[in-house]
Amino acid sequence: MARALFHPVWIPEPVDPSVERLKRVRVVAGAVAAFGVYTFVQHKFDTDEILGNVLTAALVLLFVTPLTVGVMLCVWRRTGTVRQLRRPLLGSLKLLLLFIGMAVAAVLLMQLANAVGAAALVPLGFVALYLIAVVAYGAVQLSGNYFGSAAVHRCLPPLLASVTTWLMAIPDLVTGDLHGLSLRMGIVFILGAPVTVTAIAVLEMNRLRRHYGIRLRAHPATLPTPRPTAPPVNPYAPHPHGSPPGPYPQGGPYLPHPQGNPPAPGTRQHRYGSGPYGT
């Protein structure tokens, strides 16, 4: 269900396995930096704070993603029109609203299940956990294309990931909220996610520029169409239909001839073939 919802057919396939691995590392590194440091230092897993962070991230995505895309549309208007990008933009907006709606619904159901009595705890908790599983799997699916923004421009996913993580860290930097940690660990906790995600995003955009000629400031209509990189071929893998065709009847020069040993060049052959008394 999550794959059908969050990975529709109009989202382009990745052009480079290395870039796709960088996207996966970007998501894992951001999650570990955001939640792992605090959990390890405090020796506890605060569910209420995690749910609050999910709601905060949903609000940030709702406002930051359209704003960042709007800024890039103003940059791209110098060399193209916005009308050319209308269809992928609308599809990306639908994915964004669907993901945020499911994430908010899962958090609210989880909070409601904790507040009500034992009678409604089981059904509400089951639905909440199911939605959380769908949202988590959807987040993994959307990590590569960032709500389908890769259909608009290949460099939008790393840009949006970097902007989102920095804007989520700015309030803590301004207010000085270290979440009960020391100054050193608080800085690591606050800056760990944006610095890690930004570094991987820069590597990703640099690889797209060097290998495929895809630049962030160029209008998507002016960019070359990237072709997915073919996987390496194993020269020792068996042929899918047996021995490949070649100059030898049975696929090899050292296999027996289908009619015995072939005659030597210049040898006279009997008109009816070889028999018991010679040729």
What is the C-alpha to C-alpha distance for residues 77 and 163, in angstroms, rounded to an integer?
21
Other Cβ atoms less than 10 A from the Cβ of 145: the count is: 24
C-alpha to C-alpha distance for 263 and 161, rounded to whole angstroms: 72
- Cα atoms in the Cβ-side hemisphere of radius 13 Å centred on 249: 8
Residues 174 and 66: their CA atoms lie apart, in Å, by 24
pLDDT tens string, the chain, 279 residues long: the values are 767 787 788 888 777 777 677 677 766 665 665 555 555 555 555 667 677 777 888 888 889 899 999 999 999 988 888 888 999 999 999 999 999 999 899 888 888 877 776 666 778 878 888 888 888 888 777 777 888 898 999 999 889 989 988 888 877 777 766 666 677 777 777 787 788 888 888 988 998 899 889 999 999 988 887 665 555 555 555 555 555 555 544 445 555 555 555 555 555 555 555 555 444
The residue length of the chain stands at 279
User: Which DSSP string corresponds to 244-263?
Assistant: PP-SSTTSSTTSPPBTBSPP
Q: What is the pTM for the complete model shown?
A: 0.72
Taking the C-alpha atoms of residue 194 and residue 171, their distance in angstroms, rounded to an integer, is 13
Nearest to 99 by CA among 164, 193, 7: 7
Place of tokens 């209008």: 219
Please tell me the distance from the alpha carbon of residue 126 to that of residue 111, in angstroms, as a whole number.
Answer: 13
d(CA 229, CA 70): 31
